[in-house]
Amino acid sequence: MAYLAYHLHWPLAELLALPHRERRAWVSEVSTINTTLNSAQGS
pLDDT means over runs of 10, the chain (43 residues): 92 95 97 94 77
Domain that holds residue 15: 2-36
The number of distinct structural domains making up the chain is 1
User: In the prediction, which pLDDT does 23 show?
Assistant: 96
Residue 41 lies in a domain: no
Give me the pLDDT at residue 1, please: 87
C-alpha to C-alpha distance for 37 and 39, rounded to whole angstroms: 5
pLDDT value for 18: 96
Q: Are 4 and 23 in contact (CB under 8 A)?
A: yes
Identify the pLDDT of residue 43.
64
Residue 18 belongs to a domain: yes
End-to-end CA distance of the chain: 31
Regarding pTM above 0.85, the answer is no
